[in-house]
Amino acid sequence: MKKLLFILFFISFVTFDVFANSTYRIDSILTHVSDYTKSVLDLRLISDKELLEHLNTPINDLAKCKIYNALCWRNFNSDPPKAMEYAQLQQPLAEKSGNQDAIIASYDNMAFLYSGFNENEKAITYMLNVLKIKEAINDNSGVSTSLTGLGSIYYRMNNFKLALNYFNQALAIENKINTIEIEGKRRKAIMSGNIGLCYVELGEIDKGLENYLTVVKIYTENNLEKEASTTYLNIGAVYLKHKKNYDKALQYFKLAAKSTNENMSLLSSIHRNLSEVYNYKSDYVKALYHGKKGIEYANLSNDKKSILEANENLSKIYYDQKKYDLAFQHFQIAFELKDSIFNESSSQQIAEMQTLYNVEKKETENELLKTQNELGKVELERKSTQQLYLIMSLILAAIIVIYIMYSLAQKKKTNKILNQKNEQISTKNKIIEEKNKDITDSLNYAKRIQNAILPEENLLLKHYDSFIYYLPKDIVSGDFYWIKEMGNKLYFSVVDCTGHGVPGAFMSIIGFNSLNRIVEDLQIAETGLVLDKLNELVINSIRKQDKDG
């Protein structure tokens, strides 16, 4: 089952409205709203175009910082590369302003964006910088939030021990704050859920279950049952996967379904798990019902991964029930989706690498600009102290040393970047190998389905001293043999279908089913007429599929 990580978000997003008189509104926000976060949230309600136009008006650096922050938040989910551009423009302005809230918001933005691009080391660096600032100003709630963010990053890196450490620290702070407000209770529930996930990943199942039940208790006591669906799903998964207690698993999966009615992907996951439990219990009617509901909700969610998992699940159920044609049909859908998801993932990874390249290029340009500014200051000092030749010589020597050190540092940095890129390439190659393995496993599964429909050799041996030599070119074959005993007659055929691999296998199923229909249902006995009818049925099947497609 897909693991569902509780994420405590640092930024509260609100519904967009369009303000009239945006220029007046922007000025009013920048002038009269003193709270940094509140002012950025208000600016976020104004369009990108109007905010960018306002940057050309005479405003101070802190005001520009707020506008870039608002632009970053507006594009956070819809266009992360653009959000990163605005975050980069925001950061130097925030640091220059010295405003703590602006600096914290800037570093938080960089941390979240780098985490989204799987640049986890950079994300952790920014998050630790935020944590130090919040600890210095005794912002306990902010410290808890940063610790949770660090735990989430390490969880995604599969470093569950470190993730557990940060989540425990965050929960300890929340217990120390001991707020009676609903939001505080919700934060405690989220952190307990995260701790439970880590314990399950570390194999400490009972501790994980204990924390999940703590989450349920918090939600129940505070009339937040509608938010407990993910936790019920996780509890059900523990009983299904680890404790093999199918009745308990059913109990919690049903509670999960009862507590949610809006999240289509989550509902699909719940029904997939219900179908899996009923399949284990050999209640195939209910297994099929929930398997189909899983596909129904997955289709409503438009989430390709949910649709893929739902079809794989139903294919397995049909296979266990020996309904091989239906099993193959859903396997084919899942196979095509897996290929589509892999292509989309590859494109996204390339886009992310391009974004990171642009980010690093921008950072290098900023460093160069800083160096140029420093050199300009040195030049001014040199002009003002021309009469002191000795001091000028020392300054020149210092500049040379700094330049050499800077060149060495840049060379070291370039080498580090190259090493990182090589590691990324290696990682991508591993991903491709894993995807190839998945495809091969899927084809082997299809081979099992195809072999299941072929007649047994004993049927031919019953009448003739014979053997069958069947060696497909690919994992799945476009060739098949067919044997049918009708009365005192034995029909057999060796068929070579057009194509190899999956297309050929698909044709072989059509041909096999058509021969059965001709001899059994239509009672055609003459071989010439059988071949004519086979040709007709195959053509009709292909035309029907073209129309349905």
- The CA distance from 214 to 189, in Å, is 7
Residue 371 has pLDDT above 80, yes or no: no
By three-state DSSP, how is residue 482 classified? Answer: strand
Per-residue pLDDT at 6 = 42
pLDDT digits (tens, 9 = 90+) for 87-118: 999 899 999 888 888 999 899 989 988 888 88
Residue 57 has pLDDT above 80, yes or no: yes
For CATH 1.25.40, the residue range(s) in the chain are: 244-322
Assign 465 a pLDDT band (cuts: 50, 70, 90): confident
- The CA distance from 354 to 379, in Å, is 37
For CATH 3.60.40.10, the residue range(s) in the chain are: 458-548
Residue 19 has pLDDT above 50, yes or no: no
**Is residue 44 a contact partner of residue 109, using CB atoms and an 8 Å limit?**
no
pLDDT digits (tens, 9 = 90+) for 392-410: 778 888 888 888 888 788 8
Query: Phi and psi (nearest 5°) for 199?
Result: -60, -40
- The CA distance from 492 to 353, in Å, is 57
Per-residue pLDDT at 10 = 36
- The CA distance from 87 to 106, in Å, is 7
Q: In the structure encoding, which two tokens stand for residue 401, read together? A: 């040393």
Residue 1 has pLDDT above 50, yes or no: no
- The CA distance from 90 to 249, in Å, is 49
Q: What is the mean pLDDT of the chain?
A: 80
CATH topology of domain 458-548: Phosphatase 2c; domain 1 (3.60.40)
Could you tell me the pTM of the whole model? Answer: 0.57
Identify the DSSP state of 15. Answer: -
pLDDT digits (tens, 9 = 90+) for 414-456: 788 888 888 888 888 888 788 778 777 777 777 787 777 778 7
**Is residue 120 a contact partner of residue 156, using CB atoms and an 8 Å limit?**
yes
Find the mean pLDDT for residues 36-61.
84
Per-residue pLDDT at 223 = 85
pLDDT digits (tens, 9 = 90+) for 501-530: 777 777 878 888 888 888 888 888 788 888
Q: 209-213, 428-432, 496-500: lowest mean pLDDT where?
A: 496-500
Assign 350 a pLDDT band (cuts: 50, 70, 90): very low
For 415-449, letters b (16+ CB in 10 Å) and e give eeeeeeeeebeeeeeeeeeebeeeeeebbebbbeb
Assign 367 a pLDDT band (cuts: 50, 70, 90): low
**What's the CATH code, domain 244-322?**
1.25.40
Per-residue pLDDT at 214 = 92
